[in-house]
Chains A and B, each alone.
Chain A
C-alpha cells in the first residue's frame, strides 16, 4: 500500500510570497494528482503528472520519479489561493483508486 506524506500540514503566508508544498510517496506510481479543496468541500484537480514539470498560471508542479517526490509551487500568492491542497497518487498502473495525502491547509493573509 502506498503511503503519501505531505508537508507542511499547515502554512500561513503573506500575500505575494512564494509557496512550496511537498509530497512524498513510498511505492512507484503511474501518476500523481495535485488537488485543491475550498471550504464547502468541492475538489478541483490542478495537475495530473507522471514526469517532469507542468505550469498553469501562477501554479507549478514538479515530480521526481526516482526520488518519489513532488512539489507544488504558487508564485505571487493571493488570498484567494487559501485552500487545502491535497496530493494523491495512482498505484498499480492506475487501476487502483487514488491514495491521498492528508492535505496542506494554506492561508494567505492580505
Chain B
C-alpha cells in the first residue's frame, strides 16, 4: 500500500496570504489528523477528520481550518498567515478513531512565512 502523501512538500508565503495543504491517506484509512511542529512548541494537534466530519480540534485560532472529502483526502487551510505559522505541518492517517488504531505519518509540508 502506498503511504500517506502530502503536497506540496515546501511552500513559501508572505504575511497576510492564505495557504492550502493537501493530504492523501493510506487506502482504507478514514481518519486524517493534522499536526503542527515548531522548534518552540514541538508537535501539537490541530484537528482530526473522520468520514468528512471534524472529530476534534486542538487549541488553535479559527484561522486554521480543514475539511475532508468523500475519498478521505483532506485539506487544511490557514488564512491571514502570520510569521509564527512557519512550521512543519504533518498529517497522519488511521483506520478509525479508537485508541487501538495506529497513526501513520506523511512526510510533511514545510511552510515558511516571510
Chain A residues close to B by CB (< 8 Å): 29-31, 33, 35, 41-45, 48, 50, 86, 88, 90, 93-103
- Stretch of B14-22, B77-85, B96-104 at the chain-chain interface: B96-104
The answer on a CB contact under 8 Å between A98 and B103 is yes
Q: Which of A30, A88, A97, A99 is close to B48, meaning CB atoms less than 8 Å apart?
A: A97
Give the CA-CA distance A23 to B42 in the complex, in Å. 16
Give the CA-CA distance A35 to B42 in the complex, in Å. 13
The answer on a CB contact under 8 Å between A100 and B108 is no
Give the CA-CA distance A101 to B42 in the complex, in Å. 8
The answer on a CB contact under 8 Å between B33 and A103 is no
The answer on a CB contact under 8 Å between B107 and A42 is yes
Contact with A along B5-44 (1 / 0, CB 8 A): 0000000000000000000000000000101010000111
9 A-B pairs closest in CB distance: A30-B99, A94-B99, A97-B45, A100-B43, A43-B105, A31-B99, A94-B98, A48-B102, A90-B99
Please judge, given known A-B contacts A42-B105, A43-B105, A44-B105, whether A100 and B44 are in contact too, CB under 8 Å: yes
Q: From residue A82, how far is it (CB to closest CB) to chain B in Å?
A: 19
Q: Does B55 contact A (CB under 8 A)?
A: yes
* Interface magnitude class on chain B: 20 to 34
Please judge, given known A-B contacts A86-B43, A102-B42, whether A94 and B101 are in contact too, CB under 8 Å: yes
Contact with A along B63-98 (1 / 0, CB 8 A): 000000000000000000000000010101000011
The answer on a CB contact under 8 Å between B99 and A41 is no
The answer on a CB contact under 8 Å between A45 and B105 is yes
Chain A residues lying within 8 Å of B43, measured Cβ to Cβ, are 86, 88, 98, 100
